Structure 1
Amino acid sequence: MKIAYFGTDFFSISTLKHIVNHPSISHLDIITRLPKPSGRGLKSIKESPLDFEKLKHQYDLAVAVSFGQLIPALFLDTLKYPGLNVHPSLLPKYSGPAPLQRALLNNDKITGVTLQNLHPTHFDKGDILLQETHPIQQNETLLSLSESLANKGGEMLSYCLSNGLFDSSSPNYKTLKPQYPYSYAAKIKPAEREISWSSPSDYVIRQFNTLGPLYTFKPALKKDGSTVHKRIVLDNIVKSNRILSVSDEILPNGTFILGDNDQLDIKCHDSFASVGTIKTEGIGSESPTKFVNSLSKKFGNTENIFISI
């Protein structure tokens, strides 16, 4: 069987490893969206369009995993079998481009993987062939969840190929009735990486585990006495060991204190989050101690507080 495998990222590569030596595959082509430099100085990236016309009549089956582009009907119609897609959610829940991130940010306890047919005109609207649940661990990160679900998806894909579940004429072929309500997992916007210090510390940590380095703002005084807000990027965010005291409770959210082991403890709604690396707008990354010791130089005589704007 000749297969065209469409993928673009770590998740698709990890899934691919489970079928690359599958005995049912005689020929396997990996098709990805290759960017190319464009514009003045070749600094911007412009996506190279795929010519599906040239891919017609060459394959028996198409598999799309985290490809991010609709596989058109003009290509799918030339395949011997319906196309397959591995999607890291319990479809139709979290249809869309960011199912892993939405499951983590929403503090879901269960997610999963769905193997579906490729729909010729819409994302994540194909018939469901296989679906398996997966527990989300405490302090799960985007990387750890992606690794787990990619491996599970690869196992499901391999099982599908071994048992002919992709072949609508096979006695093993069946489709499953959706068991979960529809929801859309929208793409992450840059503004979602801003910290709201009125949130519980667990959410701030979950936000970091999902999205990576987050940002906030620190008031700074200019020479003319006016106030500006400098952007601060915070990295290595974990739960603080600092116990919220009675005096801490009255501190404004966003107040920061240099803690033990060169950590910056920051007041959230219910407790403290601890930060290991700080990067101020226009300045490189610093340790908490270096950041605190140079506050007056960078920000003038201002309060030790981060704010949302």
Structure 2
Amino acid sequence: MTIDAMMAMMILRECKIITANKRFRTCRFFCYGSDLKPPWKILFFGNDSFSLYTLKMLSDDQKCKPLVKNLEVVTSVKMWSKDVVKQFALERNLKYHKWPLRSLKSGDFDFGIVVSFGKLIPESVINKFSLGILNVHASLLPRWRGAAPIIHAIANGDQMTGVTIMKIKPYHFDVGDILHQKEIPLERGINAIQLHNKLGHLGAEALAEVLNDLSRYVKSARPQPTENATYAPKVAPVMSYINWETMPSEKICNISSALVKVYDLVAVWNKQLIKLLDINEYGTPVNDDDFEIGGVQYNKNISKLLVKCQDGKWISVGGVKIAGSKVISATDFNNGYLKKQPKSMRKFTSYVDNLCKKS
């Protein structure tokens, strides 16, 4: 099951958030005063399960209409089976629009809200909203601008994370003025699915706070600082390649947590490509006198493989998938592969090293 499918099911089961709302616009947005009052006509832009947290909040609010007068939805997903936002819209009887928009007129909506949409919205579209467009982004901007902030925050061992409510600007992603940020600690060991759920709720909550007191947040809006900006591009398979010579144990575990349900981590065993599953830091002291970096031994007490990392610390591995075969347990790998090699050959090597040798 994909992350989007899993998260969509979770959101439809839970996600009760106290809501609120108000308004804005690209240029005129910062010219209005304290007379900004709901209920609003909102066009929502979203594509995946992270979008659903905020969309559900707005849809729930529309039922009692203190803030949302009209709510319609835009997605750009082409396959019906993967379009969780469209499915939600149809379940809630919300009018649905395909991207790109063909018939949007000025005055149709007070403003737009963008959450995990993945498309640059042109200035001609932004200007159709009398109060502009806001974006809910899953990082503390300007850190982790881009498509995969949750994954990059975990992979890089950030200690804090959060959400940003910002003003949409044309031509570039995630560079608009910041209206509001909410910060939370990033717990060690949390994976991308768990953080996705936390920040999804937090983003909906943060937007509700902005919409509940819009005039105050508009007046306190600030440009993003240009220094310390980092980028979170779409994840490529190369991110899953373990480099035993350069990666400490914590880094490997962080990447594993970040890529859960996206990619398994990749290494090489005896010139065969393998994928490692159920990776965790192993804090118990290990007798490692005879082991090089990447060296592997089997621990029968926990039924897992132990692998020595660049920092001299060890990780545990619960399962292995050899190319062309099914996943096997650490015990089966030990019996079928590890025991058959002399101790000097019981070692995982780096896939990146093998690529360099081939080239």
TM-score bracket, normalised by the shorter chain, equals 0.7 to 0.9
Equivalent residue for 1:217? 268
Equivalent residue for 1:243? 285
**How far apart are 1:242 and its partner, in Å?**
4.5
| Deviation per residue, 1:39-73 (Å, 9 max, x gap) | xxxxxxxxxx8222233443221111111111222
Q: Report matched runs for 1:117-266 at 5 Å.
A: 117-163=167-213, 165=214, 170=215, 173-174=218-219, 175-178=221-224, 181-198=228-245, 199-212=247-260, 213-219=264-270, 229-240=271-282, 242-245=284-287, 248-259=288-299, 260-266=301-307
Distance 2:274 2:186 in 1: 30
Distance 1:241 1:110 in 2: 24
Do structure 1's residue 91 and structure 2's residue 122 form an aligned pair?
A: no
| 3-state SS, counterpart of residue 209 of structure 1 | helix
**Inter-CA distance 59–293: structure 2 relative to 1 (3 Å threshold):** same
| Deviation per residue, 1:99-147 (Å, 9 max, x gap) | 2222222212112211011112211121111122221112122122222
**Alignment counterpart, residue 158 of structure 2, candidates 101, 105, 108:** 108
Please list every run of 5 or more consecutive structure 1 residues that lacks an aligned counterpart in the other structure: 38-48, 220-228
**How far apart are 1:276 and its partner, in Å?**
1.0
Distance 2:343 2:286 in 1: 26
Equivalent residue for 1:69? 119
Task: State the percentage of identical aligned residues.
Answer: 32
| 3-state SS, counterpart of residue 278 of structure 1 | strand
Distance 1:280 1:93 in 2: 37
**Inter-CA distance 256–273: structure 2 relative to 1 (3 Å threshold):** same
**Alignment counterpart, residue 294 of structure 1, candidates 314, 317, 336:** 336
**Residue identity matched to 2:43:** A
**How far apart are 1:21 and its partner, in Å?**
2.1
Asked if the contact 2:104/2:128 (under 8 Å) is kept, the reply is no
Q: Report matched runs for 1:50-61 at 5 Å.
A: 50-57=99-106, 58-61=108-111
Distance 1:296 1:176 in 2: 58
**Alignment counterpart, residue 317 of structure 2, candidates 267, 275, 284:** 275
Distance 2:163 2:231 in 1: 15
Do structure 1's residue 26 and structure 2's residue 69 form an aligned pair?
A: yes
Using the size of structure 1 for normalisation, the TM-score is 0.83
More helix by share: 2
Asked if the contact 1:60/1:80 (under 8 Å) is kept, the reply is yes
Asked if the contact 2:297/2:305 (under 8 Å) is kept, the reply is yes
Equivalent residue for 1:6? 45
**How far apart are 1:282 and its partner, in Å?**
0.5
Asked if the contact 1:70/1:123 (under 8 Å) is kept, the reply is yes
Note the aligned Cα RMSD (angstroms). 2.5
**Inter-CA distance 73–292: structure 2 relative to 1 (3 Å threshold):** same
Distance 1:195 1:151 in 2: 32
Asked if the contact 2:180/2:217 (under 8 Å) is kept, the reply is no
Equivalent residue for 1:41? none
Q: How many residues align?
A: 282
Asked if the contact 1:2/1:25 (under 8 Å) is kept, the reply is yes
Equivalent residue for 1:42? none
Please list every run of 5 or more consecutive structure 2 residues that lacks an aligned counterpart in the other structure: 1-39, 81-97, 354-359
Distance 2:294 2:192 in 1: 25
Distance 1:27 1:240 in 2: 53
Asked if the contact 2:47/2:75 (under 8 Å) is kept, the reply is yes
**Residue identity matched to 2:305:** L
**Residue identity matched to 2:335:** N
**How far apart are 1:298 and its partner, in Å?**
10
**Inter-CA distance 62–261: structure 2 relative to 1 (3 Å threshold):** same
